[in-house]
Amino acid sequence: MRIAFIGGGNMGRAMLSAILNQDLTSPQNIIVSDKNPEILVRLRQDFNVFTTEDNFDAASRGNIIVLAIKPQNLEEVMPEIKGKLNKNQLVLSIIAGRSIATLQNGLEHAAIIRAMPNTPAYIGKGITVWTATEGVTNEQKEKADAILKAMGKELYITDENFIDMSTAISGSGPAYVFLFIKSLIDAAVDIGLPPDAARQLVLQTLAGSVEFTAKSGMELAQLMQMVTSPGGTTAESLKVFENGKFKELIAQAVNAAYRKAKQIRG
């Protein structure tokens, strides 16, 4: 399996490192093009993959072509490979907000997978939501499935609209969680905890709470009740969250990301 990446930034790097970690292919079978030569030097040094600044050169060498550029760079990249791919090649786009129709028209190519991964893919703990066009063969789907599984969990869906919705949840979601982690560590330090202890307490509280939610089989309301005795410390802090409309704020943030995903969809 030869995999070409157009764009070797954060997500391109995360994907190719996951692919190599899982031995899905060898570094000689990975080709990366990027307009930033420094990125290419680092990828060569770290992974020994083949690199080029020529997107068409990269695309012509891959059975699978991963589009890992930013949405605003798609328009300049598509004409470079438009109509030049052969029908056995598969295009796998992880670009937020850019629709299958845009990719099919812009590339004049039928076999497209649209996927939305997230950055915990760096350590094999991501989740990717994906869908495929009718032009994608079962064999290609199996290969894509293996690539996505190398980055963590994957969820196949048939309705493309769910990809834009997932972008606002799992795609952008790690940033929401990192913001919460940072805010809680900062607050812990503010009340006097040493920074190392604060970090350890916050990370384990999050990790433990997530695993407890997944494994206990209990409802979230019940889990919250277990920590919240009437008139106690948790009840005091939850009142502050409620007064600050924490839940509404999260809904607004998710809606803003979803609106943006739909807006850049063309």
Select 9 or 189, whichever has its Cβ closest to ligand NAP. 9
| Least distance between ligand NAP and beta carbon 190 (Å) | 29
Cα-trace Rg, the chain: 21
Select 130 or 140, whichever has its Cβ closest to ligand NAP. 130
| Least distance between ligand NAP and beta carbon 105 (Å) | 18
| Least distance between ligand NAP and beta carbon 194 (Å) | 31
| Least distance between ligand NAP and beta carbon 245 (Å) | 27
Query: What is the DSSP secondary structure assignment for residue 54, as one 8-state letter?
Result: -
Q: Which residue's CB comes closest to ligand NAP? A: 9
CB-based contacts of 44, cutoff 8 Å, min separation 6: 51
User: What is the rounded distance in angstroms from the CA atom of residue 228 to the CA atom of residue 241?
Assistant: 14
Residues found near ligand NAP in the complex (CB under 6 A)? 6-12, 33-36, 39, 55, 68-71, 73, 76-77, 94-96, 116-119, 171
DSSP per-residue letters across 153-174: EEEE-S-THHHHHHIIIIITHH
For 27, the 3-state DSSP assignment is: helix
Select 92 or 96, whichever has its Cβ closest to ligand NAP. 96
Select 98 or 198, whichever has its Cβ closest to ligand NAP. 98
**Cβ atoms of residues 93 and 115 within 8 Å:** yes
Select 136 or 261, whichever has its Cβ closest to ligand NAP. 261
| Least distance between ligand NAP and beta carbon 73 (Å) | 4
**What is the layout of strands, in order, in the sheet containing 152-156?**
50-52, 30-33, 3-6, 64-67, 90-93, 112-116, 126-132, 152-156
